[in-house]
Amino acid sequence: MARNRKKKGLPVHGWLNVDKPVDITSTQVVGMLKRLFNAQKVGHGGTLDPLADGILPIAFGEATKTVQWAMDADKEYVFTVEWGRTTDTLDGEGEVIRTSETRPDRADIEAALEGFEGEIDQVPPKYSAIKVDGERAYDLARDGEEFEIPSRRVFVHEARLIEMPDEDHATFHVRSGKGFYVRALARDLAGTLGCDGHVSKLRRIRVGVMHEDDAVKLADLEAMEDREARLATLLPVEEVLDDVPDVEISDEDAAAIRQGREVMLMPHVVERWRTEKNPDPDDRLALAMAGDTAVAMGEVRAGRFQPVRVFQM
């Protein structure tokens, strides 16, 4: 008979707003933090390429049940495009596959950028984590396989030119929705301008409610000798659920919900959720809170809270 294996590490729950340095993968960051916090379960809320730095949301324990909300959140980037060379990875890590002498001026760049705001079609880079017939696109690309990735609709809230330090480089700020690739924007912008280009520098400055001003550096976490000091940097599990309306429940109801049972809500709680907190009458999603503790994600139906995703903390 199979024996239950004891989980390695301690139960740690919450989000960490990490400022990832360059030259390290998102997976490596997860491994480092799992060791530093001696945590049982750790994941991230959206990959950041090794050559990119900036905000990498890290989920511990029960926070991993909310990762999708971090991945779907709006994001902001500051990045630099180097004109004149296109690489196979669309960034500075790849092999140069095409060059040109054309250099766009400020007026042309700003005019072209207008076509990349709002809802646009974008084909993700071949060197990406997109799955094609069950395989990661970057694996197929590295193996020299021929394949196509279908375009997808993405939303760009804002795209603007910040500066042009010289004729070979231009720095941009972009605020986008989910599924957007900066490298694909650089590729398509260069194509519109009739030149070549790739991303030479990329920094993600915001993911949802997590901003670079509040981020913690890996080096600072490693320098902390006190585990309690590290734990104090964690944000609550519900940090990324800022757009999910909450409903107030009692400690007694919280115990029932943690057992997977639905509970009856007080009429005034339902009314407040419906009129003050929930902007979409067709959306029944709610976050059950017992005081300051997140208990579960679920739905409000006929005056009852039906748990869908329970947090065991």
Distance (Å, rounded) from C-alpha 226 to C-alpha 95? 44
Q: H-type helices in 3-136, by residue range?
A: 26-37, 67-72, 106-113
Look up residue 125 and give its two tokens: 């880079």
Q: Which amino acid, 204? A: R
To the nearest 10°, report the CA torsion of 156, 158, 161, 162.
-130
Q: Any residues with CB less than 8 A from the CB of 205 and at least 6 apart, and which?
A: 54, 55, 76, 77, 78, 211, 212
Residue with tokens 């905000």: 55
C-alpha angle 142-146-149 in degrees, rounded to nearest 5:
90
> Known catalytic residue: 49?
yes
Count Cβ atoms below 10 Å from residue 156 Cβ, excluding itself: 18
DSSP string, 86-119: EETTSBTTS-EEEE------HHHHHHHHGGGSEE
Distance (Å, rounded) from C-alpha 56 to C-alpha 77? 12
Residues in the chain: 313
Read off φ and ψ for residue 232, nearest 5 degrees. Answer: -70, -15
Which residue in 19, 23, 49, 188 is the catalytic one?
49
- Catalytic residue numbers read 49
